[in-house]
Structure 1
């Protein structure tokens, strides 16, 4: 046989973890509640907390069974139990639900095959547990356990739990009928005083209308860095229908307009589209949340200026300016006004000699990041503008660079010597 684990400690630990949620009542007619051995097992539980009780040693192959079923579906799992005692043991398998935690598995859903419950010393036995979810079951997660005996174990401040058992978790679900077809990650750059717009397409394949009530969330829990600026709700305009009819698609349009005096920097918020899918639990809303991130920048009044030395051997000077452009950017293409300043202070208009476009294409990226043909995903475009100054005088030069529609740029000055 494969190595197995004693179930007493593990099943108790699993049920203690599940006890962190909402309150749930135990099944009143389960063997754990109605069995004549209840008083004895309570005494056993108290004794165990003092370390004086030995529990029946039973071993199972798998202690955690997680099922995912639609209403009306059923599934059977096989539980293999080995008697680790030196004498025979009589099993009493039954459904146990914790008195608190997740919603309890319904007793009517569970049937346990118990044709022969006597295990001799060292004997191994299999029995089947069938879970049949009712047609009208509510979409949710349900928790319980298949207890193998009436013995329980408890810890101070905790309710009694089965000493031997298998954790049973059931997720009742349906195929979603409402989907956000477009990307739910909104990232862009915008100049203060300008705006950008994104559209989110929602599809309703169900047979009933779906309400739409978008809400912008700006609390700190959605902004992991304390330095991030607060997004003002007045900057955001949302255009959405009140509902989406069965079998239809609809577009939710979001426009962000930071004012001309907005502080530059990174902004983050989250947009809850306010969709209600009848085929998803009410607590499940992650699928229709939009991450809203953008950077605000301001156009400078004065040019950027940097200095460089020119030697007698310099034949010409080249200046390369590189600007990046996001695929989602709505602004005009970047451009630069460049002026060289000679050692004696004379300004020399720079000659632009070339413009280079470059980008990166990734065939392994999500199709949502792809261009319109749905095949090639690109992360944006980078442009390099080259300026040249021929036969410069030796000495200390400088260059003035005034960017237009360029939130970020890098520069490289090269002295080409003879």
Structure 2
């Protein structure tokens, strides 16, 4: 019996020497993930309980402003306290590393109360003094009223009680384009036309000038223009615009004789560098080149029409259409009428009418042909009228050969006598119109 007690004592000693961890059953990975999720959820709930932010409601008037160097901007910010007790505020400027041009704190001063009573509204005046030597750019910042922030994944902390303010600093441009930023016209295949773009530099130093034709095709839908060959455009330009001087860029468009007729569009970037404009801002110096190529027909246009026994005279009105082609040669038509018996009748041209449009508002237009002081003038077109007296009844044929116009409209009018043989025109007048 004594030996048996000794063995039991040894067994107890050995068991007590085994680490406690070895005696705990292993936990599988699924249980571990579930436990971790439960802990995360509990932490999120606890954090949500802590996120008890102060109820301040902020409204800023006209927070996006323009300014020149040396000017002072004032922004009005309204803050309403939604709490049941007064709230201490600390208005200050906050900028983030995400801003390319952050507003400087030394530019900004904020005037307003340091506390807002429960349910009350306070107004703050934010003054921003723009330095004289500041770079032309859009400066941005936020006016925060407390130190409370919120953080989103991957982003720096952002003040909760804040409003955005912006000062887009600009200077009066020193480089201006005095002519229309359009190169429009019509041109016969094998011919050419030239437009001039006048540029003025009012600055103290010369600016570079390097016009370049845009080669990539612009996106369009529907009836797209033909693809332009850049070799059709020749640009004659100086390499710079001297200080206080003007320069002229000549753009000549010369499609070959085998060019497809139709509309062509492209863009010319003048390559100017205005020191008072933001880098990359070049929309103001883009020249739209839009023109129509046409071909002179080898045969006249021909159409037939009926003449009644009551017709006293026949008149034809031709209205040529020109695409801002003030450089083109004079428009003309060779007109022939063929009577029912086959006789060719050379109609007499009895009237030519010129029309135009005068604009007192000086609105720049791609169709403007000239600027004359207070008047902006553009051509309204011409009309050519031909007449045949006492035409024979039956089917007639009209032949028209146009010269120096890419299209025309025609009106054929037959004036008929009344049954009483008076000279008054009848109520019914036959007209034909075509493009």
The normalised TM-score by structure 2 is 0.78
- Does the 8 Å contact 1:326/1:381 carry over to 2? no
CA distance in 1, matches of 2:45, 2:250: 64
Q: Distance in 2 between matches of 1:379 and 1:48?
A: 75
Please tell me whether the aligned partners of residues 357 and 379 of structure 2 are also in contact (alpha carbons under 8 angstroms). Answer: yes
Name the SS for the 1:104 alignment partner: coil
Is 2:195 the counterpart of 1:201? no
- Superimposed CA distance per residue, residues 124-179 of structure 1 (whole angstroms, 9 cap, x where no aligned partner): 33333232334442211122211122223456676543322111111122121111
Cα distance, 1:361–1:64 mapped onto 2, change above 3 Å: closer
3-state SS in 1 of match to 2:329 = coil
Aligned equivalents of 1:371, 1:198: Cα separation in 2: 12
Distance 2:88 2:72 in 1: 28
Aligned to 1:34: none
The 3 A distance-change label for structure 1 pair 104 and 247 is same
Counterpart residue number, 2:360: 363
Structure 1 residue 317: deviation in Å? Answer: 1.4
> Hey, what's the Cα distance between the residues in 1 that align with 2:138 and 2:191?
46
Deviation, structure 1 residue 102: 4.7
User: Are 1:327 and 1:381, in contact at CA under 8 Å, matched by a contact in 2?
Assistant: no
Assess if the C-alpha contact under 8 Å between 1:207 and 1:247 holds in 2: yes
Measure how far apart 1:340 and its partner are. 1.2
SS of 2:60's partner is coil
Structure 1 stretches of 4+ with a deviation exceeding 6 A read 46-52
Match of 1:65 in 2: 63
Matched residue of 1:62: which SS? strand
Structure 1 pair 382/76, CA: closer, same or farther in 2 (3 Å)? closer
Out of 198, 204, 210, the position equivalent to 1:213 is 210
Describe the SS at the equivalent of 1:287. Answer: helix
Higher relative contact order (CA 8 A, sep 6+): 1
Q: Deviations over 1:105-126 (max 9, x none)?
A: 2333323346x42222123333
Contact 2:143 2:165 in 1 (8 A): yes
- In the TM superposition, residue 395 of structure 1 has moved relative to its aligned partner by 1.5
> Aligned pair in 2 of structure 1 residues 372, 125: CA closer, same or farther (>3 Å)?
closer
* Residues matched between the structures, number: 372
Task: Name the structure 2 match of 1:125.
Answer: 122
1:75 is matched with 73
Partner of 2:372, secondary structure, is coil
1:106 equivalent to 2:99? Answer: no
Alpha-carbon offset, residue 192 of structure 1: 1.2
Judge conservation of contact 1:63–1:166 (CA < 8 Å) in 2.
no
2:343 corresponds to which residue?
A: 346
Root-mean-square deviation over aligned CA pairs: 2.7
Deviation at 1:48, TM superposition (A): 12
Deviations 1:266-323 (A, max 9, x none): 1111111111011111121111111111111111111111110111222221111111
* TM-score, scaled to structure 1: 0.81
Query: Is the Cα contact below 8 Å between 1:223 and 1:268 reproduced in 2?
Result: no
Structure 1 pair 52–233 and aligned structure 2 pair: CA distance change class (3 A): farther
Deviations 1:216-269 (A, max 9, x none): 114233656662112211111111111111111111111111111111111111
Local SS of the residue matching 1:220: coil
| 1:307-322 matched pairs, under 5 angstroms | 307-322=304-319
Residue 291 of structure 2 is matched in structure 1 by 294
Could you say which residue in structure 2 is the equivalent of 1:272?
Answer: 269
Judge conservation of contact 2:370–2:378 (CA < 8 Å) in 1: no
Q: 1:154 to 1:210 in 2, by over 3 A?
A: same
Q: How does 1:230-249 map to 2 (within 5 A)?
A: 230-249=227-246
Identify the residue that residue 35 of structure 1 maps to in structure 2: none
Which blocks of at least 5 consecutive residues in structure 1 are unaligned? 1-45
| Cα displacement (A) at 1:72 | 4.0
Aligned 8 A contact 2:60 2:76 in 1? no
- Superposed displacement of residue 364, structure 1: 3.0
